[in-house]
Structure 1
Amino acid sequence: MKAIPKSVTAVTGIALALALAACGTGEEKTSGTGGDRGTERREGENSADKALKAADPLTTLKAAVVKGAQQNTYRTKGKRKSADGEFTSEGVYQVKPDAAEMKDFGPKTEDTPDGLSHIIKINDTMYGNTAAIPGKKWWTFDLGGAKAKEQAEPFVLMAAALATTGDLKSTGVETAGGRRAAHYQGTVVVSELSAYKGDAMKDKDRDAYVNRLKDQGLERITLGVWVDGNGLVARTEEKGKGSKGDYSTTDDYSGFGEPVTIKAPPASETAGKQESMEALAKKK
């Protein structure tokens, strides 16, 4: 029999503590006032928080990376500040078969006259809302397998990156994404992460996250990851300042494993790949 990894044990321990907190001792009370029940509920919540707070940060993050990689669907809600402006966003994602639908709400531009950027991805084909093609509402672009196969989802990348930091710490238990979660924080230095070799992060995931930070002109960020009692990432937060100015993201995660429906836009409203490329070329 294979030994159970410490990371799995950590998540199991948290889940068990939460279950015990929710169920109490198993003895059923036959009488009691509303005040008694309120006290019991608060005690259960306190026990759950204590279990989250007591968990080892590194072990918990490594376990969250493993469990996060097992999730096939999830949803996000977030906000972002970068050189391009301030945005709020929402998305729904499916790992296999590969599909996603993302909406960004931000500044009004020529490309997004109403401030909405709406992207739908089905396997290697991406669709985006547009006002640039007469008679059409969507453009089409062939990614041609541009996304690295088996690359981890963003929240998994961030949990793994945080696990590599030298100043990793727990800052307490908070409500994130609508549920109680342990908040872990550390500093990611891009040059140090680029050279990282260890079991907390795969090389291809490390390179993907490093490239993402470099694209924003960042040399270091403060990274926060919240992990709930089920061992799943509830929230991620990045904050930094680089050559392109201030940068920050906050995303809440929910709906892990729930059914999702992601469809391509109506063909009658969608420009073909050639028409889309020609329209893009004219804009340049």
Structure 2
Amino acid sequence: MKTSLRRSARRRAMGAGFAALLLGAGAVGCAKGEDSPKMTPVAAVAKAAKNAEDITSFRYRMTGKVPEQGRVKADAAMRMKPTVAMSMKMTALDQGADGTAEIRLVDKAMYMGGGAAAAKEMDGKSWLKFDLSELGAEGLDDPSLGAGQADKNPADQSTFLAGSKDVEDVGTETVDGVKTTHYKGTVTMKQLRESLKGEDEATRKRRFDQFTKLGVDAVTMDMWVDGDDQTKQFRMRGDGDKGPLDMTITLLDINEPVTITAPPAKDTMDLAEMMDEAQS
């Protein structure tokens, strides 16, 4: 039973890893408003990316395909201030029963919920807890623990398209009832690296590493910008050595209250305690 439990915990941790990784995939702010004066595609994309820096909380949906995980869908909410918190309900559509999970990040602890399937393997408890404060800096950066990007603002990645050499205005489109301008371009990893030269090392690592880990050499990016120069939707596509990436993030809310709570203690199993018991 212990071996099965550890195996199940690892599977769910990897599932959390792909979700947390995608939290850094470019979700940025959205709002409705009047059309802004016409700008060049590069200037429009850069302005939308700059506006994303003011995000303090948001909700969004995510659909697409992720290397090694296949087709995924998720609904998520994240708060950046006053403290970082995150909640995501996700489904890896190609992984059957093991592909559905919920993740919460609260008070430097990551919780993964597997519902009834997890409860069968964890003495009736449906949540697994990772205490990130005990893992230290290395633990926070370990994607297998689902923490890789969970405490970072996903809006960081919205700057990528501004580094493209071929940004173009595709035309006007309506996204989720909002009139937007669709921009598109391709960013190579070399261009991305050059665009980050003026940033500090932590920022460069945060924005660049997720793609190198997937073995992606170039990313085709689409951005739908509304009349308030905010991004309503974002799509990224690329071919990595671990499979294709094709992910679309649509913002449904921005800077609205986001409250996330830890699961009940009676329904939670602490991973550290579980491993100590297994070793003894």
When normalised by structure 1's length, the TM-score is 0.72
How much does 1:268 deviate?
A: 0.7
Provide the residue aligned with 2:256 in structure 1.
258
Aligned with 1:124 (options 99, 105, 108): 108
What is the SS of the residue equivalent to 1:162?
helix
How much does 1:166 deviate?
A: 1.0
Inter-partner Cα distance in structure 2 for 1:211 and 1:162: 17
Provide the residue aligned with 1:153 in structure 2.
153
Moved more, 251-260 or 171-180: 171-180
Aligned with 1:228 (options 221, 226, 229): 226
CA contact (8 A) 2:187 2:219 kept: yes
Identity %: 26
Inter-partner Cα distance in structure 2 for 1:151 and 1:225: 23
Specify which structure has the bigger relative contact order, considering alpha-carbon pairs within 8 angstroms and separated by 6 or more residues: 2
How much does 1:228 deviate?
A: 1.0
How much does 1:117 deviate?
A: 1.6
When normalised by structure 2's length, the TM-score is 0.73
Moved runs in structure 1, 4+ residues, more than 6 A?
148-151
Distance change in 2, residues 1:276/1:236 (3 Å): farther
Unaligned runs of 5+ in 2: 1-31, 142-147
Inter-partner Cα distance in structure 2 for 1:223 and 1:278: 45
Distance change in 2, residues 1:233/1:213 (3 Å): same
Distance change in 2, residues 1:278/1:252 (3 Å): farther
1:66-105 correspondence runs (5 A): 66-82=50-66, 83-96=68-81, 97-105=83-91
Inter-partner Cα distance in structure 2 for 1:203 and 1:253: 29
Question: Which entry has the higher C-alpha Rg, 1 or 2?
Answer: 1
How much does 1:241 deviate?
A: 1.2
1:138 pairs with 2:123: no
Unaligned runs of 5+ in 1: 1-13, 19-47
1:1-284 correspondence runs (5 A): 18=34, 48=35, 51=36, 54-82=38-66, 83-96=68-81, 97-107=83-93, 109=95, 113=97, 115-130=99-114, 131=118, 132-144=121-133, 146=140, 153-154=153-154, 156-197=155-196, 204-277=202-275
Q: How many residues align?
A: 230
Distance change in 2, residues 1:151/1:120 (3 Å): closer
CA contact (8 A) 1:151 1:205 kept: no
Inter-partner Cα distance in structure 2 for 1:120 and 1:80: 21
